[in-house]
Chains A and B, each alone.
Chain A
Amino acid sequence: MAKSFTQNMSWLHTWSGLFFGWLLVPIFITGSICVYWFEISVWARPENHVMREAEPAALVEFSEAYLKKTAPDSRFWKIGLPATNARDPILYLSWMDKQGKLARAQFNADGSGDPIRTDTIGGRFFVNFHYILNDLPRQKNSIGLLLVGAASIVFLAGVISGVVVHKRIFKDFFTFRPQAKSRQRTWLDAHNVLSVLPLPFHFLIVLTGMAYLCYAYIPSGIATLYKGSEPAFRVSADFSQDSELVDPAKATPGPIAPNLALALLHDRAVAGELRPEVMGYIVVRDPGRANAVVEMFGAHRQGIFITNSPRVAFDGVSGRVIRAMHARPPISETWDVIAGLHMAFFGGGLMRLLYLVSGVAGAVMMATGQLLFTIKRREQAVSPAAERFYAIVDRINVATMAGACFACIAHLWAIRLLPFEMAGRAAWEVNVFWFAWALAFLHAALRPPKAAWVEQLAATAVLCVFLPVLGYLVPNSGLLDMIARGDWKTAGVDLASLGCGLFIGWMALLLSGERLPRAARKSSLVGA
């Protein structure tokens, strides 16, 4: 028997919504948070809170001296200047050691040469979680990547099928009945309002997210054209193919170049439109050897783009320009804009706030969908087995939605509270996230679902509201001091946490006053 298109879409919407919702709600929550990941990184390093930026030329000089002392025989240096990322301005040096491994050091950008001692993951974990579900390098973690990819595809299909299912969608949009007799009706109205209003955004953010890493999700292009080597593709796409590492045999030190003559190269860079103040990062291949190559990359471009341009490569001895690139070819540029729409580097703080609010609306939209599933079905549950299934769904709902929020704020508490001298501190910040989430699952399993909802949301709200207080336990991070300094970027993290805490607390209050339908109450008692 052939079902109608609408019926098919309804099935797709309900069941894909349920199972992938468990994955997508935490992804949307962490994804919304990581709109501010640079700010969180700065916030996580108290020594960065009182900092003046030094002149780029002085920083280059310092970096060159440091790298010559630390890694004289290295074949690869990279000097990341603060202008690379104005939202998280630090001096970031990396080099390849004798075993071919990348070593790194971070310094304050004030020219003092003070290393950044705080070992923290900053905002990076939220970024990693929202696209690979953990903290491993992406290349070693295709399962996480593909799960997020599958969830994204299903989300896009779910959004389209949702438009078909909720046929009266535009009429529904103007219908919100918080006082409606039936609770299910209210949740459905909320689900519809939150779906329609930011629908274009949800579609855009997931589609651009997929397009951003399209070559990794479905790697047949790279497999065919680059023999499956993503680094080879990156080198080629980044226009530095002529500076690939030379065969070691050919790289034996010739007449040692006097030095990198970075000061001289500055003059050359000006010719290539790369003035020192817009310099992003500098890569030196085979420094101090006769075949040395120096590549300079412009700072982050203004506007929507996420790549750095222009780029200039010099001969490291004579200073001759080997290659310069001022614009990317059209398809790369298109991809750059699409990826830029996802990353939200453009438009300033207000634009990012819009991204955050729309992302949270997406998480709440899916959450209300999850609740609808159980509210609607529990009342019609025909067998004890079905009732048990819905009780389990209920508990997983609590842990994946309220529990994920709880784990996120616990992670930020860990960033503030773990002792600075602790070994492997950054790893423990992440471990705390997983422990907190496991705790939330345990709690959801032991408590009746409704109580678990209220308690987990309340706990999250309390942790959010008190996060700013923790700033007084570490240097330079008191909320009022930061505001007095005019350091709104860092204070903003605390203020946002406060705001989220109040919002989540309000939701907990709403839910605690909520009366569930009789059948629901019965099943939650059975489940307990």
Chain B
Amino acid sequence: MAKVLAAILGGYGLAYTSGAALAKILPLRPSEAVYLIGMLQVLLYVGVVIWIFSVSARRAWIVLALLIALCELVVLIN
């Protein structure tokens, strides 16, 4: 159950924040960036869900939290 939550909510959180970070740093015209980010996020989300089910729930949450924090940092700096 912890894994299901990590996969669906945590995966979404990571996909969302990584998109926000990319939106800040990609040197593209905005409409192009939105399409590119959107397509990358979907791939990332699927990958994260699969990965989470191959590791322990605790490890999944820790890595997710670190990555989300990193993305947030990129958003804040830029």
Contacts and interface: CB of A to CB of B under 8 A. Distances in A.
A222 B32 CA distance: 11
A214 B35 CA distance: 8
A16 B28 CA distance: 38
B33 interface: yes
A12 to B, nearest CB: 5
A246 interface: no
Interface residues of A, number: 38
Interface string B10-27: 011001110110111000
Contacts of A217: 38, 41-42
Given A9-B53, A157-B50, A331-B28, A225 B23 contact: yes
Interface stretch (A110-118, A148-156, A280-288): A148-156
Contacts of A160: 46, 50
Given A2-B56, A233-B34, A332-B32, A224 B24 contact: yes
A217 B46 CA distance: 13
A220 B53 contact: no
B34 A218 contact: no
Nearest to B37: A221
Contacts of A237: 31, 34-35
Contact of A218 (B29, B35, B42): B42
A58 interface: no
Interface in A1-46: 2, 5, 8-9, 11-12, 16
A140 B75 CA distance: 28
Contact of B35 (A8, A150, A207, A335): A335
Contacts of A154: 8, 49
Contact of B37 (A161, A220, A236): A220
Interface residues of B, number: 35
B38 A215 contact: yes
Contacts of A347: none
B30 A220 contact: no
Max chain B C-beta neighbours (<10 A), residue from A5, A207, A218 = A218
A389 interface: no
B36 interface: yes
B34 A225 contact: yes
A214 B54 contact: no
B35 A153 contact: no
Contacts of B41: 214, 217-218, 220-221
User: Which 5 pairs from chain A and chain B are nearest by CB?
Assistant: A214-B38, A220-B19, A224-B23, A237-B31, A221-B34
21 contacts: A156-B49, A157-B7, A161-B53, A207-B42, A214-B38, A215-B38, A218-B41, A218-B42, A220-B16, A220-B17, A220-B19, A220-B37, A221-B34, A224-B24, A224-B75, A233-B30, A237-B34, A331-B32, A332-B31, A335-B35, A335-B39
Given A16-B4, A214-B38, A221-B22, 8 more contacts: A12-B53, A214-B37, A220-B23, A221-B23, A222-B34, A224-B20, A330-B32, A335-B35
Interface of B: 4, 7-8, 11-12, 15-17, 19-20, 22-24, 28-39, 41-42, 45-46, 49-50, 53-54, 56, 75
